[in-house]
A and B are shown apart, each in its own frame.
Chain A
């Protein structure tokens, strides 16, 4: 860190942060059992950020010397006070239990090629795309004199299936992964996973019937709970977004306008926790030198805590809760989610279903989006099934769930005792910063929500 220290010492400002960040990865892309491309990626560089007169000056370069000079301007800055909590020296690390090189590149190629054989005989399977990535992210940071070192290895698999059956086509995408080494791959059971998904989607296309448009009971799976936790709760709880710092990009938050802090039913608890071992969004000290901790964003249905970095915390006159992260050396740290999830309850999945006479279980989705206040959202189900008299029944063809965040969160009357996480790359900022996160939750039961029919909404 000696090289960073010299740069740090040359910058005399109330807040200074100097960072070296390296990302090394190896990626492979397979189409129908053929290796279409493998890519070795290495990105190393330095960044310095400092605060002066309401402005954050940020410089980044491969060359450390470039950080020592910057032209300053006499303009009105938007940033205000910042949380000056003293940073502490610290270190965090995710080690690979099974190192990546325990399996040679050739063995990995053969393994992923062989996965195609699992589903290629299924007539409905048109295309199978597989993406594999192993990476190591390393950070050395000096914040106001404290030294922080971080190292996280991650493994990720993306799957894309194109399936045609009964004159209907579907594209189905899945993501698996977390921090660690090859043990993450071992846990995926990809043969079984691929076969299960190819058969399930084929079944929906072959037998799926419209549920019709009606107000009904809906059970959202762990996967749907995850996307809702991330998009409808996590993003709008980013304090910089509430303040308008992202207004021209991904927009504002409903929390900028909301007066009522009761946003969901009593069973709704949403947590962002970067300290979960093995998680995609793992860290224990953030990029501004603040100790990371679990944050209850929503507690028993009430708005409880926003995600903060030092600068948003200063504007709200609170302490940062350690949510600042940068995706690479040439990006400014921003308020980011880590692992965001609905807290599970005590009920089993069977108990969740047992008093539903009629409803829909949405297990996976193929399309979702949300407006720029994070209010109006839409999910189009892919693997979806009728619920009849407490039992999962026949496939339902592409049910559409649309609704406003508080309405949906208040409609949740029960959650089961499972907790499943899914990896994702969360985007934010300009230049865009894709950052690894987990999102997840239990299966959740929603009462009296409207299901529409795709194409007829």
Chain B
């Protein structure tokens, strides 16, 4: 297995060597006004090499194994795990068929309102050989997409992601985008604090920022509001990294040859687990969490634990439902101050009934305060990934009290 890679690593005779290979097949379908604008087939194959030899090192992306590393002095370098195991997992689901023929999928694109969106079909093969004896080969197939239905000045957006293709994935997401777009009528609100229900798409966007701040590298760089053992969310809030679930971007080993495992990053509101690789673990006096990323550890995919009440009951009072956000920008990562702009169906509910759309409001608040103010979490969850939340995640609806909203 990976014979050429094994030979290449052996020949380099590095103290720490990791050679990663990616082989990617991808199809992109872009939908505009319920029609297809473009169908794209993208193939790519490349290598990443990390090596340390004496006090010199190299990290780079190689086009092929004819290329040799060009060493430079290094202060900090990736360390491979002492793991001499072989690991092979090749999954062949029904997504393979879509690479041969897209017709079963294209026939599903039907919408009441003009529909816009992108469907991505991915088949990623990933191999790793290290100088510490690890030899792994694995693939991950996934289909994900997002749809935005346009009802004159109103719109609704929804997304999906899965390791298996089914007609219901596409149909349900289109239906949900249409349902949200069907809520019309303007309802002006003033700037202030509101109880807000965040949709799984909004959670996807915010949790990705939070997971980035959970990286050990973000913490040592001062680019994180998270401190180990500190309470950063309500008791009801638990955020997990789940590389061992059957999900897009789930992998059995990390980039340093450590076997991955599921873990709570934030457990019942407490920041328990910074995401680490081998080189960061001594700084945190802890073991690697199998989240390498050389130098910069990252989450594989995310999950927020479900609550015990229904989505409908979250909307039963006076709340504002936010369908989607984009352009999340932090003015201060160390404190967590940020703003993000709501889009699509921002629905005002009075006594549990929708009374209109608030338009493009902005959440201008502090992420820690939002997490602390989580009051309820729905039992319904959705597996989503979209353009402004590209990390795969499974998220519920979340009711947050006293969220600061501004206009314009």
- Report A's interface with B, CB cutoff 8 A: 29, 31, 34-45, 54-63, 66, 70-71, 73, 75-79, 105-106, 109, 126-127, 129, 160, 162, 164, 169-171, 243-245, 247-251, 257, 330, 332, 366-373, 375-378, 380, 398, 402-404, 430-432, 454-455, 457
Contact = CB atoms under 8 A, between A and B. Distances in A.
**Interface centre among B101, B146, B332, B343, by most A CB within 10 Å?**
B332
B403 to A, nearest CB: 13
**Interface centre among A245, A366, A371, by most B CB within 10 Å?**
A371
Contact of A457 (B39, B74, B388, B406): B406
Contact of A372 (B58, B72, B146, B341): B341
A369 B329 contact: yes
Contacts of B36: 55, 73, 75-78
B349 interface: no
A451 to B, nearest CB: 13
A245 B116 CA distance: 8
A42 B43 contact: no
A37 B296 CA distance: 10
A371 B343 contact: yes
A105 B239 CA distance: 42
B247 interface: no
Contacts of B150: 244, 247
B76 interface: yes
B406 A432 contact: no
B331 to A, nearest CB: 3
A114 to B, nearest CB: 14
Interface stretch (B27-35, B80-88, B128-136): B27-35
Interface stretch (B6-14, B216-224, B254-262): B216-224
B44 interface: yes
A257 B150 CA distance: 14
Contact of B44 (A127, A330, A375): A330
16 contacts: A35-B76, A36-B76, A40-B70, A43-B46, A60-B43, A62-B43, A73-B39, A162-B221, A162-B223, A332-B40, A366-B332, A376-B360, A380-B331, A430-B28, A431-B28, A431-B42
Given A76-B35, A160-B223, A430-B28, A42 B62 contact: yes
Nearest to A60: B42
7 tightest A-B CB contacts, nearest first: A367-B331, A40-B60, A162-B222, A369-B327, A78-B35, A376-B408, A248-B116
B12 to A, nearest CB: 15
Interface of B: 28, 30-33, 35-46, 57-63, 67, 70, 72-76, 101-103, 106, 116-118, 120, 146-148, 150, 153, 157, 191, 220-223, 294-295, 326-335, 337-341, 343, 360, 362, 364, 387-388, 390, 404, 406-408
B408 A106 contact: no
Given A41-B61, A367-B330, A376-B408, A59 B41 contact: yes
A38 B58 CA distance: 7
Contact of B106 (A45, A75, A404): A75
A31 B360 contact: no
The majority secondary structure among interface residues of chain A is strand
Contacts of B58: 38, 40
A60 B222 CA distance: 39
B237 to A, nearest CB: 23
A372 B326 CA distance: 8
B387 A249 contact: yes
B389 to A, nearest CB: 12
A455 B332 CA distance: 13
Nearest to B324: A372
Contacts of B153: 257
A402 B30 CA distance: 33
**Interface centre among A45, A56, A404, A430, by most B CB within 10 Å?**
A430
A384 to B, nearest CB: 13
Contact of B221 (A129, A366, A377, A432): A129
Contacts of A59: 40-42
A179 B338 CA distance: 33
A457 B364 contact: yes
Given A61-B44, A457-B191, A55 B147 contact: no
Given A73-B103, A171-B333, A58 B41 contact: yes
B104 to A, nearest CB: 11
Contacts of A377: 408
Contacts of A31: 220-221
Contacts of B333: 171
Contact of A402 (B41, B116, B406): B406
Given A35-B76, A40-B61, A376-B408, 12 more contacts: A40-B60, A41-B61, A57-B40, A61-B44, A62-B43, A73-B102, A78-B33, A249-B118, A367-B329, A372-B360, A454-B331, A457-B191
A428 B18 CA distance: 33
A335 B117 CA distance: 18
B72 A105 contact: yes
A73 B35 CA distance: 12
Contact of A367 (B35, B148, B339): B339
A247 B149 CA distance: 9
Nearest to A377: B408
A62 B38 CA distance: 21
Contact of A248 (B60, B120, B148): B148
Nearest to B328: A369
A455 B41 CA distance: 47
A110 to B, nearest CB: 9
Contact of B60 (A41, A61, A109, A126): A41
Nearest to A42: B63
A35 B75 contact: yes
Contacts of B63: 42-44, 62
Contacts of B223: 127, 160, 162, 171
A3 B340 CA distance: 47
Given A247-B150, A251-B343, A369-B329, A34 B41 contact: no
B156 to A, nearest CB: 11
A372 B343 contact: yes
Contact of B364 (A127, A371, A375, A378): A378
Contact of B39 (A58, A129, A455): A58
Given A75-B106, A330-B44, A369-B329, A169 B334 contact: yes
A407 to B, nearest CB: 9
B341 A58 contact: no
Contacts of B335: 169
Contacts of A127: 221-223
Contacts of B118: 248-249, 430
A166 B157 CA distance: 44
Nearest to B38: A56
B73 A106 contact: yes
A198 to B, nearest CB: 14
